[in-house]
Structure 1
Amino acid sequence: MSKKRRDPQTPFGWYLRALMEAHGFASDGELAAATGVSASLISRYQSGDIEPSVQNLRRLAPYLGVSLGELMVEATLATSEELGMVPRATATTKLDASLAEAQRLLSDPTRPDSAKEYLRDTLRGAIAFWRQQTGLKAPAEPSAADRAAGRGVRAA
């Protein structure tokens, strides 16, 4: 009797599965044998039962062709900004005053997360409305699986 492999239950689970497949790991056991991270933990990461530890992500990263930081961001253990993975605007980059104000408000550690999320939602809505009014299509976002496989989706 063969045991059917469950589908991942979280975005990180799908991301991990896509990386495994892209790097030739047909099962959790194969990845476990290569990395020393148990197959049951790998399965539980995919199902969302538990959050991966940084130590285990460090062991998985080289075999999955990504950096520790990328795995941490996908697992929502840190943001790309916290890890310094997002380049900061340089002096040569002139940011519109209203965008600079939004950026300042979003990076203010004294502001509550709920206020920051409200601002993000407001900006997303304003951009969506602007695109609709000007007839511009939103760029297609690559899925986690596409990002894991190194495939980007270009805007039409």
Structure 2
Amino acid sequence: MSITKWMHVVRQAADAPVKDPTLALLVRFLDQHPDMSVIPKFPEAQEMFDTVNKITDVDQKRFSVLFGSESSATYRWLKPSGSRVSPAVGRLMYYLKMALMAKPPADRGVMLEDWRETVRLEAQARGVDDIFKQGSWKPKAEKAEKAAKTPRKKKSADVSA
């Protein structure tokens, strides 16, 4: 089922039968047997944050960066009424958690360090020298260029009469 059709069914026709009976039965079966679903249950941001911090101390800024997000993202993800992670972040969290849990506890720290190095190299390839310090995936030159293009508000002392 396409995402467009799914959203129509969920939002506008939740009580209407799905046109294809096979698809309807498949969905009902998976609803009755969630352990059989091929769609993984992605970890919540708090769950993943706790998992990583059981292995090694990671602050919120660096946690966001580990998942390709800006340093402020974890704050939003962990708020009680926080924003959801993007689908790509959710998938990355899922696969990283699966890989970590597949390792013996003594090897999980090494795996996280290897992942940190992958993140560092990806940032470096994008022109970001120290992603864990900078906290942004945009190179400093790009950020400075954007700031230069953004008009500043004039202070009252700057305005001549």
TM-score by length of 1: 0.29
* Greater Rg by CA: 2
Greater fraction helix: 2
